[in-house]
Chains A and B, each alone.
Chain A
């Protein structure tokens, strides 16, 4: 009778989600099968792992059975792999082979050919991330940086199945990582006041970057010519991005929001010489490229 008084607990306005779906890029070992015979496979595996020592241990593994038509004893194979501390996360196979592997609990993946990368398109002024200049040691304002775009790192091509980390048995999830656009190449000098932003990819400039010019990329920045302006790599948070140049003389360099103004001349080995700039922890390292 009557309404029970429900305690009015103040629940937090924003309920934190218990989990979230993001993209990841995975590096995996591809175990290519050349035989269907279980014993032969297990022996070969034993020998290979013995020779390799601990090198492959604990690596995620994709089993490539695309060359085998005969039936494979999947449960036995998978258990053998696990015994060697190899973690099967996917299979490459077609037809019946694929079905059999699925029943054994493997996800079908397609490492296929390198996706054709769409050409980079120039970004408009308002797309340039504000995160490109954040004072050193200031906490990055929450919410301005989008989730780290690892897909932008360019080296991963054929090997890693983008969704391998997710639930087994499911096929490629709907939001599979989009192929990063091809690096943006600028083949003219960049003058004072000009600014170029390579979104989701690397920027390559062939020519001088004058004082007062800005070169920005979500990926790496390469300048084949004097770099005299401002260079900002990893503009949306990729701390592994780097700045490369054949002639170092910049006004300012920044990686993933950590920046340094170059007020005085750099040491002789670096000034106007080929160099790489990378982020190590929270500080920028400037290293010579020449021997």
Chain B
């Protein structure tokens, strides 16, 4: 049975697509057959971040409307043979997403023996976001350590607990995981950003990881490669930790403590 994971946040620009790309790549690296679906109809980004924008022929909406089969629409990742992408439509709008249509696609993907189906949610709480979350078993709630992001994440958590299929059927609720992104330990130490503990106190859900603010993310999207592939970067390491924790392994938190650089580093090293 495929596990459906929604990557959502409420707030825009916090790192959902970046996370969807790296999270699905990380699972595929571990040998799990994984598909990542872009639910942002009309403003698609996932294909760019995954580096497959020139190979998009058919998309999610085409499949829902029966204009193409899943096999025709799915794009196989060039680097990982276990990883597939289902891009969003750029020309249609979100009304093309129907519950029945989405459900059928998810069921068909499960039949194709995918172990993980990652749903990259758009920002907001409208149709696209609601569709992406509705069928989820797990949710990665991506949050920046910043007040509006935290409030929007809180809102999205409320929606997940009330408006999902699991909620409507009275089944076990969606498992919620907090993923802090763009975390700057220095700014937290300076009191400019909310700390990990503050955010956990407000949101009260299980922390699955902290991704530090890093220039590597921009480099990765420019190259069309999920950040997790950039070895030796802190972001890649952090995402690997996230995968490990999600799969049940124990990893200590990294990148959350700020160490003031010594005199020499400050004189010669820069920031």
Contacts and interface: CB of A to CB of B under 8 A. Distances in A.
Nearest to A228: B202
B133 to A, nearest CB: 14
A210 interface: yes
A213 B162 CA distance: 14
B155 A189 contact: no
A212 B151 contact: yes
B98 interface: no
B121 to A, nearest CB: 17
A103 to B, nearest CB: 58
A226 to B, nearest CB: 8
Contacts of A190: 158
Interface in A186-217: 188-194, 208, 210-213
Given A189-B204, A210-B202, A194 B162 contact: yes
Nearest to A213: B158
A210 B161 contact: no
Contact of A211 (B154, B157, B162, B204): B154
B161 A191 contact: yes
Contacts of A189: 204
A189 B155 CA distance: 12
A192 B158 contact: yes
Contact of A194 (B158, B202, B204): B158
Residue of B151, B158, B159, B162 with most chain A CB atoms under a 10 A cut-off: B158
Contacts, number: 28
A208 B204 contact: yes
Contacts of B155: 191-193, 212
B166 to A, nearest CB: 14
A229 to B, nearest CB: 10
Nearest to A207: B204
Contacts of A192: 151, 154-155, 158
Nearest to A194: B158
Interface string B136-170: 00000000000000010011011101100000000
A210 B204 CA distance: 10
Interface residues of A, number: 12
A11 to B, nearest CB: 54
A189 B202 CA distance: 10
Contacts of A188: 161
A271 to B, nearest CB: 15
Contacts of B157: 191
Contacts of B161: 188, 191
Contacts of A208: 204
A125 to B, nearest CB: 13
Contacts of A211: 151, 154, 202
Interface in A157-210: 188-194, 208, 210
Contacts of A212: 151, 154-155
A213 B154 CA distance: 10
A188 B161 CA distance: 10
A222 to B, nearest CB: 19
A52 B140 CA distance: 68
Contacts of B158: 190-194, 210, 213
A208 B205 CA distance: 12
A210 to B, nearest CB: 5
Interface string B13-45: 000000000000000000000000000000000
Contacts of B202: 210-211
A13 B154 CA distance: 54
Residue of A190, A191, A210 with most chain B CB atoms under a 10 A cut-off: A191
A121 to B, nearest CB: 17
A210 B153 CA distance: 11
Residue of A188, A192, A211, A213 with most chain B CB atoms under a 10 A cut-off: A192
Contacts of B151: 192, 211-212
A243 B157 CA distance: 26
Nearest to B10: A192
A212 B154 CA distance: 9
A212 B157 CA distance: 13
4 tightest A-B CB contacts, nearest first: A191-B158, A192-B154, A192-B155, A194-B158
20 contacts: A189-B204, A190-B158, A191-B154, A191-B157, A192-B154, A192-B155, A192-B158, A193-B158, A193-B159, A194-B158, A194-B162, A208-B204, A210-B154, A210-B202, A211-B151, A211-B154, A211-B202, A212-B151, A212-B154, A213-B158
Interface of B: 151, 154-155, 157-159, 161-162, 202, 204
Interface of A: 188-194, 208, 210-213
Given A210-B202, A213-B158, 17 more contacts: A188-B161, A189-B204, A190-B158, A191-B154, A191-B161, A192-B151, A192-B154, A192-B158, A193-B155, A193-B158, A193-B159, A194-B158, A208-B204, A210-B158, A211-B151, A212-B154, A212-B155
